[in-house]
Amino acid sequence: MKPRRAIVVGLDCAPPLILYDELRAELPVLGKLVDEGQRYLMRTCHPPITIPAWMVMATGKLPGELGVYGFRHRRLGSYDDMYIANSRLIREEPVWRTLGRKGLNSIVVGVPPSYPPRPIRGYLISDFITPDPSKPYTWPPMLKREIESRFGPYIFDVLYRTEDRDRVKKELWSMTEQHFKVLEYLVTHKKWDFLWFVEIGTDRVHHAFWKYWDKHHPKHEPGNKYEDVIPEYYKLVDRLLGELLEKVPKDTLVFIVSDHGAKAMKGAYAINQWLIENEYLVLKKKPEKPGEDLKPSMIDWEKTKVWAWGGYYSRFFINVKGREPRGIVDPEDVPGLIEEIKKGLSKLGGPGGEKWDNKAYTPQELYPVVKGDPPDLMVYLDDLSWRPVGTIGWPNPYLEENDKGPDDAMHDWIGVFTVYDPEGTLEPGDMGAINIHEIRSVIENMVLGREA
């Protein structure tokens, strides 16, 4: 069958609560696509983070197969050798490369991680991990000059962990408007069959403004000046998307998808202090001030079994003899230590004695293949409602705020996936659940005219 032109509308962090429920009737473009499309609840990957989630979707491979477990990674066997995930780590084939081998031209904009830019059959602008617009960020390389001569330096991201919410709002609007102007230029001036773009602004608006909008957030204040920022931002995206779709052929397939969902962050918990309290982690001396970053030089490695990183989930690392420079845990004792830690974490609860739904997994329990530099244990606190933080020295391990700056939202397991065919080949309605790694094959098959 003849291939179909298609657009994948990637809205980072967009939850069903917003697109399918609360704001659906207020969004004329997205609401129509959702109403007349096949709607799925998208179950994201472990971990539910922008990197690796978008590449799990684009390649159909789990994080273990990709060897990517978040933005940053520790090289196994080291205490402080860390690196940031980038496009060079992705060795599995994303769908646009498959389509390129079949003769289709793609436009890929902002899909993480796509920096540094790699050759594709078509055009590419890299994502928010691009250090700054002075770096090469397009394929082909000359596309950068073409874009900047019309729209100025490309805006990859905004500073969103700040108390200056007015600045966040202003910069979010400027960034998003520029992104869609660039998309409109590309679809009207370049030869293409397939477009996949990711708007990171939806994620940033959640992290900066969720407590102002979500009436169930523990810090929500009714009538606050920012309570309409999230709806206003989605209306901006809706309008800009409508203008973009006006510029493409009417028979274009449209996929709307997020990489994970969003939920209220109830608070943060100093996870390394739990390890210290339970004598898994031993410091040479007490921290001098609250909120110190845990550095290898602070740790008494001859007495330390485990240390941790914070984030949307916590990564536990075991000080294994023969692997780490000053390891003390015999490799044969690692499974027993992990089970002991899991049991201890199952008893950890909230500041008022609330029962938490904590989960801890080894990568081998989650993935059939484990590549790269995985943590020894992946820990989620209260089903993602509480954020683990890695800093130490706090008088109380329960914190009201993220230790890296204001943040109102956590990621959630459920995102969205909607398929809209203007030719009416699909029966609209709720279709149940789909796993994030299954989406690639749906997109590929529909674009190539095969049965999805």
pLDDT 10s digits, 334-392 = 999 999 999 999 999 999 999 999 999 999 999 999 999 999 999 999 999 999 999 99
Check residue 451 and give its pLDDT: 66
Q: CA–CA separation, 110 vs 179, rounded Å?
A: 9
Edge to edge, what strands does the sheet with 194-199 contain?
Answer: 138-139, 122-125, 106-109, 194-199, 6-11, 253-257, 414-420, 38-43, 429-435
Q: Contact 104/193 with Cβ under 8 angstroms?
A: yes
Cα 110 → chain centroid: 12
Region of residue 437 (left: phi > 0; alpha: psi -120 to 50; beta: else): alpha
Q: Which two tokens stand for residue 77?
A: 């066997």
Give the residue among 365, 364, 320, 332 at the shortest CA–CA distance from 77: 320
Q: Which two tokens stand for residue 386?
A: 């509480």
Q: In 3-state terms, what secondary structure has residue 215? A: coil
pLDDT digits (tens, 9 = 90+) for 118-147: 999 999 999 999 999 999 999 999 999 999
Angle at 29 between CA 28 and CA 33, to 5 degrees: 115
Q: Contact 237/200 with Cβ under 8 angstroms?
A: no
Q: Mean pLDDT over residues 87-112, rounded? A: 98
Check residue 160 and give its pLDDT: 94
Q: Contact 348/358 with Cβ under 8 angstroms?
A: yes
Q: How many residues does the chain have?
A: 452
The model's pTM: 0.97
Q: CA–CA separation, 129 vs 123, rounded Å?
A: 18
Q: Mean pLDDT over residues 168-192, rounded? A: 98
pLDDT digits (tens, 9 = 90+) for 216-271: 999 999 999 999 999 999 999 999 999 999 999 999 999 999 999 999 999 999 99
Q: Contact 451/441 with Cβ under 8 angstroms?
A: no
Q: Is the pLDDT assigned to residue 452 strictly greater than 60? A: no
Q: Mean pLDDT over residues 211-219, rounded? A: 95
Q: Is 34 exposed, middle or buried (0-12, 13-18, 19+ CB in 10 A)?
A: buried
Q: Is 353 exposed, middle or buried (0-12, 13-18, 19+ CB in 10 A)?
A: exposed
Q: Contact 199/110 with Cβ under 8 angstroms?
A: yes
Looking at the chain, the whole-number percentage of residues with pLDDT higher than 70 is 100
Q: CA–CA separation, 16 vs 326, rounded Å?
A: 47
Residue with tokens 């291939």: 3
Check residue 4 and give its pLDDT: 96
Residues 6+ apart with CB under 8 A from 22: none
Q: In 3-state terms, what secondary structure has residue 39? A: strand
Edge to edge, what strands does the sheet with 398-399 contain?
Answer: 386-389, 267-270, 398-399
Q: CA–CA separation, 280 vs 341, rounded Å?
A: 9
Q: What integer best gives the mean pLDDT of the chain?
A: 97
Please report which helix (H) or strand (E) contains residue 165, including its range: helix 165-189
Indicate the CATH number of 6-263+411-447 among 3.30.470.10, 3.20.20.30, 2.70.98.10, 3.40.720.10: 3.40.720.10
Residue 381 carries which DSSP code? Answer: B
Q: Is the pLDDT assigned to residue 412 strictly greater than 80? A: yes
Domain ranges of the chain: 6-263+411-447, 267-406
Q: CA–CA separation, 67 vs 396, rounded Å?
A: 35
Phi, psi of 348 (to 5 degrees): -75, 130
DSSP secondary structure letters along 50-100: HHHHHHHHHH---HHHHT--SSEEEPTT-SS-EEE--GGG--SPPHHHHHH
Give the residue among 43, 41, 48 at the shortest CA–CA distance from 21: 41
CB-side neighbour CA atoms (13 Å) of 42: 38
Cα 73 → chain centroid: 15
Q: Are strands 106-109 and 194-199 parallel, antiparallel or unpaired?
A: parallel
Q: Are strands 82-84 and 106-109 parallel, antiparallel or unpaired?
A: unpaired
